[in-house]
Structure 1
Amino acid sequence: MNTPPVYLVSGVIVVNVLIIESNEEAFRLAVDTIDASNDALFFVRRQTTLADGIAYLQAAEVDVLLLDLQLPDSAGLVGFEQIAALFPALPVVILSGVENTAEAARAVAKGAQDYLILAEISAALLPRTLRYAIERKRYQRSLQASEERYRALFEQANDAVFILDFNGKYLEANQRAAAMLGYTQEEITRLTLWEVSGEVVESEGVLRRLIAGEHIPLYERRLVRRDGTRIPVEINIEVVRDAHGNPLFIQSIARDITARLQTQLALRASEERYRSLVESSDAAITMISRSGIILFANTIAARIRQTIPDAVIGKAWTQVYPEHQYQAIETVFHTGRGIVFESMAVFQRLPRWYRISAQPVRNNNGETVAAIVNAVDITNQKRDEAALRESRDEMERRVIERTIELARVKENLEAIFNHSGDGIMLLDLERGVQQTNQTFNALMGIEPESAFGAKLTAFFRPEDSGCIERTLALVASRRRNCRIETRVMRAGSSAVDVEISIAPVRSTDAPVKSVVCIVRDITTRKRAEAALRESEARYRLLAENVNDIIMRIALSGEVLFVTPSAETIIGYRPEDIIGRSAYQVIHPDDRRKFMTASKAIEGSTIPAFSYRIRRADGNYIWLETTGHLIRDPATDAPLEIVAVSRDISERKASEMAFQALSQRLELATRSGGIGIWEWDVRSDILAWDEQMVALYGADSDQPSTGIERWLNTIHPEDCERAVAALYAALHGDSPFDAEFRVRRPDGTMRHLHGAAVVLRDPQGQPLRMIGVNIDITRLKEAEVRRPITGASTMRAWRKRSMPTTTAV
């Protein structure tokens, strides 16, 4: 049913695709994406249900299947599992409308070739995925078949196959080897080459030469059976290496040649009997003279050359068969001994491997006059051996990787056990404590050796013994984890609260024999829980009796909690507010400011802001609110806002009254020509308002400077008197009240009257001076014009317009 893609003459790949998809839009998208491909010819068929898809697969040839997991008669991986069971060789690609990482992992683990999201497929991705799925499935099946052939070849081989290390110890042997020597396969793995070989010295020499890198041709030995008898064998031994040429182990293939030797003796006794035997043999058998002429050939030998025996007999060997084979056979005539070798020859344009045995034929004088050549086609065996070596190398690589992984896991587990912050104990339910780590010993205040063999209840307070025993029984019977809290009773110290997590050590055995106990010191947590309960009680008492309003507000604006003080301040009971939006009672003109302030988070704090809120009686009052953003400790995500609100209606009224008063004062100072100044005595910073700058004709952009700025403007005749008045005020001798002339930058002269108060610290030391300057130039000029009435006019003006000066 499932065949490889067909390759057209033009080189385009033909792929038969079945799509099981109930959604028409998804099916059209998949078809359009496949049609956009230019590197293959796809024949697409569709079924809308799992049952119809299975019926189609049973009747038609399909190279690859696109399967939707959500079908009218199947949902999830159930449909894929049915198809995988019915058609194991069929490559399946899952096509899903939604991304599900967990489901994708399970599908691939169960044999799916890929898992595609419908929205992510493209003309480049989908066709390539289908082709790769076919190739991967074919490779997986080939690898599985290769491994099965290797194991079958190894176990069912007619020859004895041994695997040895480089010290001559047997690592593995097949069934034939065990039968040949009279041992079991397991018993052979406990033997060495020297215990089996009948010629120890010769075997040691072969092993040394092999390890040195020398190729060892086939040789004969006698092996010692378990019962002491010896059997002749023909041995092929070689070093098996990995893909990088590194030696892995030694493979020895031994063939029992007892029968062959007996056959050779029988052949010498009766040539006719031998001739009849070779004619019926499956091997290619020939006889060759010393001069290289073929004297005899059986049917198999002639068939190799696609001819009959008579057409071969009488010809030189090199006219019929490869010359290199004859060169090897010639050694029989030179040495008088038989040889066995393997040879590759190309017949019918195909390479074939043969195992060739050439044995001497002697006359009555013992002279070698001919050679009997027995050629067995071992091409399939060679292919299987190559596959066997490849599979063996792969298996060895996997074993090494797994061994390394297990060693790493063991190291990690030992590190966790030895350096864990929790106490860890391995407890045998019958024999008591078997192992503890350093943390457990320190927690219990014991020496490591004193814990061995003790019961779990020995370390904790006696009144918890029954609970601990029942928990152990529950873990053992139900094979599940349990957790209990108790106290450690340490000699000479206070009790320690601990939490014990008990988990069974799972194995294939039905009853649980051992458990792992993880003991954690929870004393700090217990204290924190108690402190938390006390704190919650205190804060609840505070919340219920506080004069301010405390609210918990969700990020959506919904009120989650409010203190009873809300009823006193805004006239609403807590149950009237909880569950409602906080924005509903905000003055319409202040809602935007409220929302903006709620989002203006600095770290986790919302700065204080004020707004108007409608009371239950319909009147509006002013509230000032500060907030704190509560975050999730694990993710730092914002959860809710805790807001504290205070009634500031009276303060707001005072601020508005003060603002009106300030505006009236500013209007008065501007209309009266009065300038206001402030001097920080300690830092020597003198600040002027705009009217002061105008009085002195100074530059408004000039930064604030010290008292020298003022002194440099005073007329030299008035400077000493002004300075004396200033220092007298600082020392508390008299308030500052002085008249003086100042020279403006444009050269004009102005008469000013100054008065000030001194602000002092609790110790009476001067901090600041705040005062005024009044332009009295016109009054001074009027005095000059009216000397008699000028003085009385000046006194009247002072009494009406100058503030009273007081030292503070």
Structure 2
Amino acid sequence: MEKDNNIYRILVIEDNPGDFALIEDFLEDQIYLPEIFQAKNFKEGEQFLKETGWAINVILLDLSLPDKSGEELITEILAISSGIPIIILTGYPDVAFSVRSLSLGVADYLLKDDLTASSLFKSILYSIERKKKSLELEESQKRYSDLFQLSPQPMWVYDINTLRFLNVNNAAIRHYGYSYEEFLTMTIREIRPVEDLPKLDEQISLLRNKTDVHYGGIFRHCKKNGEIIWAEIQSNAIQLDNIDGRVVLVNDVTERLKYILEIEDKNKKLREIAWMQSHVFRAPVARLMSLIDLATNYENTEVEQREFLDKMLTSVKELDTVIRCIAGKTDEIDQ
């Protein structure tokens, strides 16, 4: 059988020479040149781990050592092992204690009487791989936590079924005014205006039926102080502690929308000014031009001439009113 060529550094904490020799044979049967270190009691194991424990891949631990045994031994080894996988090797079949040991954090629990080279090697491989996956998961969770908490924009996770907040970041706490503890007692319904709740219920119904849906839009939110803001949200499905949730990223677009509305209002006033220039302004100008033509190019009686001048004056006053109106609307745009 071909042996595993990977490097394995294994600490065996075992006081019985016969048991240690058997374990050593089993390891050498499966692994090409394993690095095996022995500690004959807890004290030696503690000293070894404090000095060189970082280089160890797995610990094989006998439960009955001269200076410590049982649950106390497991607890203290776990405390100094820095997360190295620990496999218990014992000669006493105790199902309840084996379950208890696993719950304390050991990687596996093996009976010496049933031990074979193959079963020991498989346990070592599985324990190392589980630890590797556990570290990857912890790193992934840390990256998620860092991205979540360090985001300059408000973020939260809520339960898609109960709508309760499961987690919120610091930006959300600052922006909305609620404390972290307050958020965790609330649902997302409580940051929506009452009149917007029917629309929210429709959205939630859609998301519950299609949990993988990316969802976004602009909605009204309420801060703790009662201020209404417009929030652009983007959300995706997420599993948090085995709960179906949604992670939400919020962008407050209140000022942006206010600016757009101001621009639209100014554009409306500009269109009104343009209409005045093209329609209202032209009418008195056209009348003036006609009256001037009649007054200068035709023979008129004194009465007719006076009538033309009165009408000219009326048109001039009308023109002045239009100009003042345009000037007023221009001033409104500049404000």
TM-score range, shorter chain: 0.5 to 0.7
Structure 1 window deviating more from structure 2 (201-210 vs 219-228): it is 201-210
- Asked if structure 2 preserves the Cα contact closer than 8 Å seen for 1:206 and 1:216, the reply is no
Residue 250 of structure 2: aligned partner: 254
- Asked if structure 1 preserves the Cα contact closer than 8 Å seen for 2:191 and 2:222, the reply is no
| Secondary structure of residue in 2 paired with 1:14 | coil
Tell me whether 1:28 sits opposite 2:21 in the alignment: yes
Tell me whether 1:159 sits opposite 2:153 in the alignment: yes
Aligned letter for 2:223?
R
- Asked if structure 1 preserves the Cα contact closer than 8 Å seen for 2:165 and 2:183, the reply is no
Tell me whether 1:76 sits opposite 2:76 in the alignment: no
Offset, 1:112: 1.7
Q: Counterparts of 1:269-668 in structure 2 under 5 Å? A: none
Pair 66,165 (structure 1): closer, same or farther in 2 beyond 3 Å: closer
Aligned letter for 2:86?
V
Aligned letter for 1:252?
V
Output the TM-score relative to the length of structure 2. Answer: 0.59
Aligned letter for 1:14?
I
Pair 91,222 (structure 1): closer, same or farther in 2 beyond 3 Å: same
> Which residue of 224, 227, 232 maps to 1:226?
224
Cα distance in 2 for residues equivalent to 1:108 and 1:165 = 31
- Asked if structure 2 preserves the Cα contact closer than 8 Å seen for 1:210 and 1:238, the reply is no
Tell me whether 1:15 sits opposite 2:13 in the alignment: no
Offset, 1:172: 4.1
Offset, 1:187: 5.6
| Secondary structure of residue in 2 paired with 1:77 | helix
- Asked if structure 1 preserves the Cα contact closer than 8 Å seen for 2:11 and 2:59, the reply is yes
| Secondary structure of residue in 1 paired with 2:79 | helix
Offset, 1:73: 2.5
Tell me whether 1:54 sits opposite 2:46 in the alignment: yes
Residue 42 of structure 1: aligned partner: 34
Q: Counterparts of 1:116-155 in structure 2 under 5 Å? A: 116-144=110-138, 146-147=140-141, 150=144, 154=148
Offset, 1:202: 7.1
- Asked if structure 2 preserves the Cα contact closer than 8 Å seen for 1:168 and 1:192, the reply is no
Cα distance in 2 for residues equivalent to 1:193 and 1:80 = 49
- Asked if structure 1 preserves the Cα contact closer than 8 Å seen for 2:39 and 2:45, the reply is yes
Tell me whether 1:92 sits opposite 2:86 in the alignment: yes
> Which residue of 109, 112, 121 maps to 2:106?
112
| Secondary structure of residue in 2 paired with 1:19 | strand
- Asked if structure 1 preserves the Cα contact closer than 8 Å seen for 2:165 and 2:184, the reply is no
Offset, 1:55: 1.8
Aligned letter for 2:115?
I
Q: Deviations over 1:631-675 (max 9, x none)?
A: xxxxxxxxxxxxxxxxxxxxxxxxxxxxxxxxxxxxxxxxxxxxx
Cα distance in 1 for residues equivalent to 2:70 and 2:226 = 65
Cα distance in 1 for residues equivalent to 2:194 and 2:177 = 11
Cα distance in 1 for residues equivalent to 2:34 and 2:110 = 18
Offset, 1:84: 0.6
| Secondary structure of residue in 1 paired with 2:89 | strand
CA RMSD of aligned residues (A): 4.0
> Which residue of 174, 182, 202 maps to 1:179?
174
- Asked if structure 2 preserves the Cα contact closer than 8 Å seen for 1:196 and 1:224, the reply is no
| Secondary structure of residue in 1 paired with 2:189 | coil
Cα distance in 2 for residues equivalent to 1:195 and 1:185 = 17
- Asked if structure 1 preserves the Cα contact closer than 8 Å seen for 2:229 and 2:252, the reply is yes
Aligned letter for 1:13?
N
Aligned letter for 1:23?
N
Q: Please, which runs of 5 or more residues in structure 1 have no aligned partner?
A: 1-9, 265-808
Cα distance in 1 for residues equivalent to 2:15 and 2:198 = 76
Aligned letter for 2:175?
M
- Asked if structure 1 preserves the Cα contact closer than 8 Å seen for 2:213 and 2:236, the reply is yes
- Asked if structure 1 preserves the Cα contact closer than 8 Å seen for 2:159 and 2:165, the reply is yes
Aligned letter for 2:249?
I
Pair 235,168 (structure 1): closer, same or farther in 2 beyond 3 Å: farther
Output the TM-score relative to the length of structure 1. Answer: 0.27
Aligned letter for 1:229?
E
Residue 382 of structure 1: aligned partner: none
Pair 216,132 (structure 1): closer, same or farther in 2 beyond 3 Å: closer
Q: Deviations over 1:719-741 (max 9, x none)?
A: xxxxxxxxxxxxxxxxxxxxxxx
Cα distance in 2 for residues equivalent to 1:74 and 1:237 = 53
| Secondary structure of residue in 1 paired with 2:34 | strand
Report 1 or 2 for greater relative contact order, CA contacts < 8 Å, sequence distance ≥ 6: 2
Cα distance in 2 for residues equivalent to 1:54 and 1:69 = 15
Offset, 1:217: 5.9
Structure showing greater radius of gyration is 1
Cα distance in 2 for residues equivalent to 1:100 and 1:167 = 42
Instruction: Name the structure where strand makes up a greater proportion of residues.
Output: 1
Aligned letter for 1:35?
E
Q: Please, which runs of 5 or more residues in structure 2 have no aligned partner?
A: 261-335
Aligned letter for 1:236?
Q
- Asked if structure 1 preserves the Cα contact closer than 8 Å seen for 2:192 and 2:221, the reply is no
Instruction: Name the structure where helix makes up a greater proportion of residues.
Output: 2
- Asked if structure 1 preserves the Cα contact closer than 8 Å seen for 2:193 and 2:220, the reply is no
Residue 4 of structure 1: aligned partner: none
Cα distance in 2 for residues equivalent to 1:224 and 1:123 = 65
How many correspondences in the alignment? 249
- Asked if structure 2 preserves the Cα contact closer than 8 Å seen for 1:49 and 1:73, the reply is yes
Q: Deviations over 1:247-284 (max 9, x none)?
A: 944443212346888999xxxxxxxxxxxxxxxxxxxx
Q: Deviations over 1:518-548 (max 9, x none)?
A: xxxxxxxxxxxxxxxxxxxxxxxxxxxxxxx
- Asked if structure 2 preserves the Cα contact closer than 8 Å seen for 1:196 and 1:223, the reply is no
Cα distance in 1 for residues equivalent to 2:144 and 2:111 = 39
Identity %: 24
Pair 182,55 (structure 1): closer, same or farther in 2 beyond 3 Å: same
Cα distance in 1 for residues equivalent to 2:45 and 2:51 = 10
Aligned letter for 1:72?
P
Pair 168,228 (structure 1): closer, same or farther in 2 beyond 3 Å: farther
| Secondary structure of residue in 1 paired with 2:226 | coil
